[in-house]
Amino acid sequence: MHGNAPKSDRPLRSRAWFDNPDNIDMTALYLERYLNFGLSQEELQSGRPIIGIAQTGSDLSPCNRHHLELAKRTREGIREAGGIAIEFPVHPIQETGKRPTAGLDRNLAYLGLVEVLYGYPLDGVVLTIGCDKTTPALLMAAATVNIPAIALSVGPMLNGWYKGARTGSGTIVWKARELLAAGEIDHAGFVKLVASSAPSTGYCNTMGTATTMNSLAEALGMQLPGSAAIPAPYRDRQEIAYRTGLRIVEMVREDLKPSDILTRDAFLNAIRVNSAIGGSTNAPIHLNALARHVGVELSIDDWQTYGEHVPLLVNLQPAGEYLGEDYYHAGGVPAVVNQLMGQGLIAEDALTANGRTLGANCAGASIQDEAVIRPYDQPLKENAGFRVLRGNLFSSAIMKMSVISPEFRVRYLSNPDDPEAFEGRAIVFDGPEDYHARIDDPALAIDDMCVLFMRGAGPVGYPGAAEVVNMRAPDYLIKAGVHALPCIGDGRQSGTSGSPSILNASPEAAVGGGLALLRTGDRIRIDLRRNSANMLVAEEELARRRAELEAAGGYAYPASQTPWQEIQRGLVGQLESGAVLEGAVRYQ
Ligand code: FES
Ligand code: MG
């Protein structure tokens, strides 16, 4: 379909600005200002593709900051292939730095980038991705405007080390808290241990949302094969930045657009890869959002149908032992895809950014270190994908089945008459502040058969949706040896948790979902054979509570603190359908 021959008959989009004989006034005006930093009229009117570099790196976004360096190599590639590079900033999104949550900024960066790509003389764009939400924000914008686009990961940080052991970004914080509590380190030692996990430029070296989304951008076909896993400081990273620059110019000549690459097959491939890498529970939110913007049917149920039974192959923290450098040396995404191809789990003819199919790119990509990427028949865990639960608590929520520990099974699922169901007593918190204030309150009398609920943490209730669903047990239970209680909520979750969490519940309490009717003390029943989660409360009682809630003006949540919080609250959809700005999906 897309040969390598340039389609020279197709006028470049940028000509409407720089070389429009029908509107010489405007052409002169456009030219005049883009000449003012040294580009020449000959260059701008030469018919060379103008390639944007959507720059997400800045001092405010340390995870992506290395893109400021990489862009120099990307420019060289663009120029060598006959294009002209124009670099511009994207609204920064730093996962660890943005209050109250970077979740609020994905849709804002998306909107901003759509306006830039649509409104300026760009024929194609390099999307500089990395930190969690930067990847979906940029892909979503490219999907909406649908001009040729290729993603370039900034790459993970080098492995962190402390006293001879790998320390992974994010996950080390949990360990450090334990050591601090046990008196083995002091506050200075705490910071030193945590900082050891971030030894270089790049994004989180663990299998968090960043490594997940960068891997999926490659699995979707939106970046060059092998690109996702290269650590940020490696020379290979500079080289792939250059190759990405070369390639985007060809893509413009071939008119290879996001809609050619982001097909339903591409998304189903990504869902399977997500299970095999042990990807983040944020992935369904972001991929469903991307599918909405490119106009591909993708439902939350597709994650269970296509992903649940795929085993975990990648042994990265927090689920496993290793980190980003190891993932790269073991073969990265192509090696994972190759293992899935061997099982017929990949639509191999899905087209990718290099103009070849995913199958062609990953044929022969063997595993280089089987400790880090396991062969398909020797997985770390079976059924590494997500299960979708439903009931009177929510119309959908997801659960990672692989986190159900043997200890949990004994405690909750040991009823011989009903081995896959458990009942417990609900303890309900309204937002993270409420949880922190009350979790250790003896008046709640939390025991080992309770289920912790976090509501008011969805896209509307806590604008952007907070990563707060996995909650710790009260201190007195931890001392008694109960480390994790099941958690359910309408927010998101960071990383993976040892406790079985049911999260991304939609619709959230703030828009009147069933969670809003729940009260502390209600009986909860989770049935894993029926994929159901219900509060065992009579219909009449639920109707009475609903009437009471409506009389009170609905579920109360804190006031917005910024204009964007207020605007997003009015426009955003629910997590199951990507938490997109609903009005935006009409524009494709
Ligand atoms: Fe940016 Fe993890 S905080 S990638
Ligand atoms: Mg995160």
Give CA–CA dist 547/542, Å, rounded: 9
Residue 66 near ligand 1, beta carbon < 6 Å: no
pLDDT at 404 (0 to 100): 78
DSSP characters for 521-565? T-EEEEETTTTEEEE---HHHHHHHHHHHHHTTSS--PPPSSHHH
Residue 210 Cβ contacting ligand 1 at under 6 Å: yes
Nearest-CA residue for ligand 1 atom 2 is 204
DSSP 130-161: -STTHHHHHHHHHHHH---EEEEE--BPPPEE
| Predicted local confidence at residue 3, as pLDDT | 39
Q: What is the DSSP letter of 12?
A: P
Ligand 1 atom closest to the CA of 64, numbered from 1: 1
pLDDT at 5: 42
- The answer, yes or no, to whether any atom of ligand 1 lies below 6 A from the CB of 132, is yes
Residue 577 phi, psi (nearest 5): -110, 25
What does the alpha-carbon distance between residue 569 and residue 578 come to, in Å, rounded to a whole number?
Answer: 14
Closest CA to 473 of 516, 506, 424: 424
Q: Which helix (H) or strand (E) holds 164?
A: none
Rounded distance from Cα 131 to ligand 1 centre (Å): 5
Separation of alpha carbons 109 and 96, rounded Å:
16
Whether residue 405 has pLDDT greater than 80: no
Cross-strand partners of 398: 388, 503
| pLDDT tens sequence across 236-256 | 999 999 999 999 999 999 999
Distance CA 430, CA 458 (A): 11
The predicted structure's pLDDT at residue 407: 77
Over residues 415-422, the mean pLDDT reads 83
Dist. CA 141 → ligand 2 center (Å): 21
CA 149 – ligand 1 centroid, Å: 23
CA–CA separation, 52 and 89 (whole Å): 10
Q: Is the CB of 203 under 6 A from ligand 1?
A: yes
Gap between the Cα atoms of 210 and 231, Å rounded: 13
**Position in ligand 1 atom list of the atom nearest CA 62:** 1
- Measured by CA distance, the residue closest to atom 1 of ligand 1 is 131
Strand-pair partners of 85: 51
On average, the pLDDT of the chain sits at: 94
Please indicate whether residue 467, judged by its CB atom, sits closer than 6 Å to ligand 1.
no
Residue 208 Cα, ligand 2 centroid: separation in angstroms? 7
Q: How deeply is 434 buried, as exposed, middle or buried, from its count of CB atoms within 10 A (0-12, 13-18, 19+)?
A: middle
Average pLDDT over residues 442-454: 95
Cα(102) to ligand 2 centroid in Å equals 9
- Tell me the ligand closest to 57's alpha carbon: 1
DSSP one-letter string for 370-427: TTTB--TTS-SBS--SEEEEBSSS-SEEEEEGGG--HHHHHHHS--TTSTTEEEEEEE
Residue 498 scores a pLDDT above 70: no
**Ligand 1: does its nearest atom lie under 6 Å from the Cβ of 95?**
yes
Distance 88 CA to ligand 1 centre (A): 22
Q: How confident is the model at residue 6 (pLDDT cuts 50, 70, 90)?
A: very low
Retrieve residue 17's tokens: 């600005």
Cα of 512 vs centre of ligand 1, distance in Å, is: 32
Atom of ligand 1 nearest to the CA of 63: 1
Give the mean pLDDT of 55-76.
98
**pLDDT of 351 higher than 70:** yes
What's the residue count for the chain? 588
**Residue whose entry in the numeric block shows the structure tokens 């490119």:** 294
**Per-residue pLDDT for 343 more than 90?**
yes
* Tokens coding 330: 């073991």
Q: Best mutation site among 66, 132, 200 for ligand 1, i.e. most ligand atoms within 8 A of its Cβ?
A: 132
The answer on pLDDT for 304 being more than 50 is yes
| pLDDT of residue 331 exceeding 50 | yes
Q: Of the residues 204, 212, 316, which should be mutated to test ligand 1's pocket, given the most ligand atoms within 8 Å of the CB?
A: 204
Of 103-112, 152-161, 218-227, 495-504, the least confident: 495-504
The predicted pLDDT at position 8 comes to 52
> With pLDDT > 90 as the criterion, what percentage of the chain qualifies?
87
Residue 330 vs residue 466, higher pLDDT: 330
- Look at residue 2 in the predicted model and tell me its pLDDT: 42
208 close to ligand 1 (CB < 6 Angstrom): yes
With a 6 A CB cut-off, is 430 part of the ligand 1 pocket? no
- Is 460 in contact with 510 (CB distance < 8 Å)? yes
> For ligand 1, is residue 63 a contact (CB within 6 Å)?
yes
Per DSSP, the three-state class of 505 is strand
The DSSP annotation for 239-264 comes to HHHHHHHHHHHHHHHHT--HHHH--H
Q: Could you identify the residue written with the tokens 């990961």?
A: 153
How far apart are the C-alpha atoms of 474 and 484, rounded to whole Å? 9
pLDDT of residue 495: 62
255-301: pLDDT as tens digits: 999 999 999 999 999 999 999 999 999 999 999 999 999 999 999 99
Regarding the beta carbon of 96 and ligand 1, being less than 6 Å apart is answered yes
Rounded to the nearest angstrom, the gap between the alpha carbon of residue 89 and the centroid of all alpha carbons in its chain is: 21
Q: Is the CB of 458 under 6 A from ligand 1?
A: no
Exposed e or buried b per residue across 336-356, where buried means at least 16 C-beta atoms within 10 angstroms of its C-beta: bbbbbbeeebbbbebbbbbbe
Whether 117 lines ligand 1, by a CB cut-off of 6 Å, is: no
**Nearest ligand, CA of residue 98?**
1
- The finding on whether 131 has its CB within 6 A of some atom of ligand 1 is yes
Q: Give per-residue pLDDT as tens, 98-135.
A: 999 999 999 999 999 999 999 999 999 999 999 999 99
Mark residue 419 as left, alpha or beta (left: phi above 0; alpha: psi -120 to 50; beta: remaining).
alpha
* Ligand 1: centre distance to CA 454 (Å): 24
Ligand 1 center from residue 63 Cα (angstroms): 6
**Following CA atoms 260, 262, 263, 264 in sequence, which dihedral angle do they give, to the nearest 10 degrees?**
180
Amino acid occupying residue 274: N
ipTM tops the 0.85 cut: yes
Return the pLDDT at 1.
37
Residue 392 φ/ψ, nearest 5 degrees: -80, 0
Q: pLDDT tens digits for 203-233?
A: 999 999 999 999 999 999 999 999 999 999 9
Please tell me the number of the ligand nearest to residue 210's CA: 1
Cis bond leading into 507, ω under 30°?
Answer: yes
Contact 515, 508 (CB under 8 A): yes
172 CA to centre of ligand 1 in angstroms: 14
The two tokens of residue 186 are 């002091």
